[in-house]
Chains A and B, each alone.
Chain A
């Protein structure tokens, strides 16, 4: 579908000036009978040659904006069209100046950088409090209103932790802005609000120095450099950068999300109160880290694991579930007793935990006298035989016979979906795969040798 021309009417909205043409969507000012309205329409680029991700990103944007409460920090969603027939979003037109306007004049005075950063941090805190993460923060996605407040636009890559993440597993390469993208985003993490703080740090760096902290990566390998290579300290580029500003910027740009500011509100506080910023060695740094330190980080970066994201603002953690996996052929009493001992230790450590006993059998095949229900019952009897000596009240234990040709995959699937805390299982060829791929801890239990 070609982008429509100004003057065209869609669902009663008349398109005015096209104010933005992007790789994923075009944005038009809407016209009323007496001139332009304070509304814009965003139309995704769809059709042959366009990426299918465009439509998913459009859906995600609509869902997240629709769920946000009205605020000066992002546009209000007014109307939307059907995704299948006429996809569009009608939103508030935000009057103001985009952040890239200031970037063209960088380096700015420290007070100016702090003022812009402070307003942006407050806008981020507003969405983070509602469990929304922007994940595509860049200069063209920030508009400063005449009263100085910052508004975030384009929520097409954002994540709302109360809603299904339609973009999960949708992309094979890291999407977002490669100039400002946080290390954990490169590793596929989409649930950490501190990713936005990293991006804010990258923008502050550019405002303060006129340079991008990690240049302009053009390949995935260049993008990954930020997992081990620290940027040159701002003071090495602009000598007049005060230590507190360098401290704030480098704090945002920490590789490990857990080492950054804990929240956008704290960052806003620092930028508004330079005298209160606790200075560390970051503040005085005058050159990039030594070759040895970078080499050490490079080694670590090959196995980069993002820090776990903090729990959502409104967390509803279910009770921990411990899976006990028992092979369909497994009946040996020494092994059963070892597995029971391990299970008892988990139950002693966490009075609330539940045990899910699982066995995986091959799917029922036709032309066998072995009826599926008969096999299921035999497996259930085996699981109950294992569990009986534990003397667990029924509400703390469940029994499951899963059908699959791939026992390890079935267990992993169960553990992922049910947010399992730990898997207990015997050794064997499945154990290796489960240990490697499980989303949780896995304990491989063996009976003690006799004697």
Chain B
């Protein structure tokens, strides 16, 4: 997995540090449950020195033109704040002049957009429907989790931004989650982590 990401990074992909990555390289990350910690312990054992070096070099956020990439809230990326509502979305958007923020941390797909007055409005995207994202507005796109969705649909989440036409499309794609769950069990990790991948919840 990490090697796949490294190869993408070598070809110019933008990669930002997530809270599980931070924990895996020994940084202090609050609020993780026991199962997550056991997965972190497993990950640490399997990381070679160059993997750790790769993770250690990852930035918390990356700015590219009018776009900001960050794992959690842009307001304080190192605090791993979940963008669970309009207030948090507003704080994240206020922290940058980027026109669009791409983030994760929260596992469900969501798009927040600014209006003339008040907090940003939330919108639950329909997979496959392109949404025009005009640059004079601010947008915050939670693209969803690739391997651990939480809405009972085990399909992975991703989103494609069409920069030339300023359009954003959210997608769900099925994958062989059964094998992924088997690998988790075979590695001796907690049963719940395997079930979560199978059920998408």
A interface residues with partner B (beta carbon < 8 Å): 52, 56, 59, 62-63, 66-67, 83-84, 162-166, 168-170, 314, 316, 318-319, 352, 354, 372-373, 376-377, 380, 393-396, 400, 402, 404, 409-410, 413-414, 416-419
A–B Cβ pairs within 8 angstroms, 27 of them:
A63-B132, A66-B132, A83-B134, A84-B136, A164-B123, A165-B121, A168-B115, A169-B117, A169-B118, A170-B115, A314-B126, A319-B152, A319-B201, A352-B152, A354-B201, A373-B30, A380-B31, A393-B192, A395-B199, A396-B201, A409-B87, A410-B87, A413-B85, A414-B84, A416-B86, A417-B85, A417-B86
CB distance from B15 to the nearest CB of A (A): 26
Contact indicator A162/B129 (Cβ below 8 Å): yes
Query: Which residue of chain A lies nearest to B90 when distances are taken between CB atoms in the complex?
Result: A413
CB distance from A55 to the nearest CB of B (A): 9
Taking chain B's interface residues, is the majority helix, strand, or loop, or is none over half, making it mixed?
Answer: loop
CB distance from B95 to the nearest CB of A (A): 15
Interface residue? B69 (CB, 8 A): no
Query: Which residue of chain B lies nearest to A83 when distances are taken between CB atoms in the complex?
Result: B134
Contact indicator B123/A67 (Cβ below 8 Å): no
Contact indicator B131/A163 (Cβ below 8 Å): yes
Query: Which residue of chain A lies nearest to B126 when distances are taken between CB atoms in the complex?
Result: A162
B87 is contacted by which of A163, A396, A404 (Cβ under 8 Å)? A404
The residues in B between 122 and 168 inclusive whose CB is less than 8 angstroms from any CB of A are: 122-124, 126, 129-132, 134-136, 150-152
In the complex, A380→B82 CA distance in Å? 15
Interface residue? B7 (CB, 8 A): no
Q: Which residues of B contact A83 (CB under 8 A)?
A: 134, 136
Contact indicator B201/A395 (Cβ below 8 Å): yes
In the complex, A213→B201 CA distance in Å? 52
CB distance from B50 to the nearest CB of A (A): 31
Q: A168-B115, A377-B30, A380-B31 are in contact. Are A402 and B123 (CB under 8 A)?
A: no
A319 is contacted by which of B31, B116, B131, B151 (Cβ under 8 Å)? B151
CB distance from B82 to the nearest CB of A (A): 7
Q: Which 3 A-B pairs have the closest CB atoms?
A: A373-B30, A164-B123, A413-B85
Interface residue? B35 (CB, 8 A): yes
Contact indicator B126/A394 (Cβ below 8 Å): no
In the complex, A314→B111 CA distance in Å? 19
Q: Which residues of B contact A410 (CB under 8 A)?
A: 85, 87
Interface residue? B51 (CB, 8 A): no
Contact indicator A418/B84 (Cβ below 8 Å): yes
Q: Which of B84, B152, B196 has the largest number of chain A CB atoms within 10 A?
A: B84
